[in-house]
Chain A
Amino acid sequence: MTTATQTVINVVDRDGASRSVEWEPGQTLMETLRDNDFEVLASCGGTASCATCHVFLDKSIVDELGERSEDELELLEESEHYDANRSRLSCQVDAREALDGATVTVAPEED
């Protein structure tokens, strides 16, 4: 079933393989990734506490999504894989139509 708010994204996993998944309304990006078997641990359940759901998005999308919270930035900046232009915690990204068709890359696991 399709709805007006349905969003489809392209996800690249840690092995470089990619596939399209549906992003359901009301879910965060982290929940979508988790429900589709991508390796995001999300130990904190989506409260910006653990940085285990780190992803990369295109810079234009990151810009469009607006400011990252202080907590999110602090966690991201300590990641070995932090990219100021492209890093987000997927638990802090809500579904938006602007993300339809976007590519999401799961960040490498921390050492």
Chain B
Amino acid sequence: MLEDVVVIVGAGHAGVHAAVRLAAWPGRVVVIDEQSGETYERPPLSKDFLKAEGQGDASIPPLRKEQFFADKSIERVHGRVESIDRRAHLVHIAGGRSIAYTKLILAPGSAPRALRIPGGSLTGVHLLKTRDDAVALRDALRPGRRVVIVGAGYIGLEVAAAAAVIGCETTVLEYADRVMSRVTSHPVSAFFERLHTEHGTRFVFGAEVTAISGDGHVESVMTADGSSYPADVVVAGIGVVPNHHLAEAAGLDVRDGIIVDADSRTSDPDVYACGDATRLVDAEAGVDRRLESIQSAQAQATNAANSIMGSARGKDEVPWFWTIQHGVRLQTAGLRRPDDQIVLRGRFADGRCTVLYVRDGRLAALDTVGSLSDFTAGKKLIARATPIDVDAAADVSIKLGEAIPAPQTSTL
């Protein structure tokens, strides 16, 4: 009988986590990585790494040291997968090699959205996703340089913070009317806008970037209202697109992400997918979403590995996200909706505040700013969909975990 083989495409957080979970499994595990070199952690790339002195990429921690894969007999293959033959259970790698699989896990991640405007590919325009991108951007951020960042999301703001600290003249152009509008509420946006402004970053909201000019190298960024912003460095932080093309070409169900179920299974029972490239659709649970989050990537990888090994599905975890800007930590748990009731716990003026998002009397999501004490407690309340006492929750002298309505006393 032929040996069972799980082939994993991608060696980011999702792919590596799946491989780790499968390490105890008796069959072969093969990880195909388009990028060369060690696997690596991504969160530092837009944070401390940009501010760190020195050359090269030695300070980026690996997801697992190379020896780990050897010790666990996890095979590492460097190459780009060109196509998947689902009928023959083969992946074809550029250069002519093919690998047979019993089960396939796709973890191709996402790609940063490029500026599709005139001048968008001039030298000096940076995207930030990979280790190489981070090294190139770090080398470009020098004191006194004029840095124009397009997009005020997590990546744009983390880069803005690093650039400002390095001593760059930093401008952020944002199409919406506030920072992080996609991921948080007005009070949190206002706090972070002020934080960056105090560190010298200039914001332009409602800015529609139309072109970048320069003779080979960027010189300025143009917006629809006719304004021009001189720039030595341009960074696009305008979101990511899922790398679902390989799956699409293989005939798997794809809709802005590879469609997977709660076990991370695609429309082909022998093919799983996890991480940024996926869209979780679970009609019964009312879920249809694509999350860009390490926590979600790991959970999906766990579910794929468990399903392949025939073990029980992992525990559902509340989605969570974090960013650190100018030393201030924003941690989000749960998924807010714009019409949630907003309850402030603490004062932004004190540099720490938790914003609670209450839906139907229950805690649905929260943002903790400069404060972690509420994060764990709040995450548990969200997981349990606990009814919350809004007045108690707004009172910082009461622990968040205890801000629940008193039990109804029966009056017989």
Contacts and interface: CB of A to CB of B under 8 A. Distances in A.
Nearest to A24: B65
B197 interface: no
A27 B377 CA distance: 30
A75 interface: yes
B154 interface: no
B43 A44 contact: yes
Given A31-B61, A35-B65, A45-B43, A75 B23 contact: no
Nearest to A78: B376
Contacts of B298: 41, 43
B372 A74 contact: yes
Contacts of A34: 64
B228 interface: no
Contacts of B373: 74, 77-78
B294 interface: yes
Contact of A75 (B42, B61, B372, B401): B372
A49 interface: yes
A49 B65 contact: no
A37 interface: yes
A31 B64 CA distance: 8
B64 A35 contact: yes
Interface in A27-82: 31, 34-35, 37, 41, 43-47, 49-51, 71, 74-75, 77-79
B329 A43 contact: no
Nearest to A27: B65
A71 B352 CA distance: 12
B322 A44 contact: yes
Nearest to B302: A41
Contact of B43 (A47, A71, A77, A111): A47
Interface in B285-329: 294-295, 298, 320, 322, 324, 329
A70 B113 CA distance: 36
Contacts of B44: 45, 47
Interface of B: 23-24, 41-44, 61, 64-65, 68, 294-295, 298, 320, 322, 324, 329, 331, 371-373, 375-377, 380, 401
10 contacts: A31-B65, A43-B294, A43-B295, A43-B298, A45-B61, A47-B322, A74-B375, A75-B375, A75-B376, A78-B377
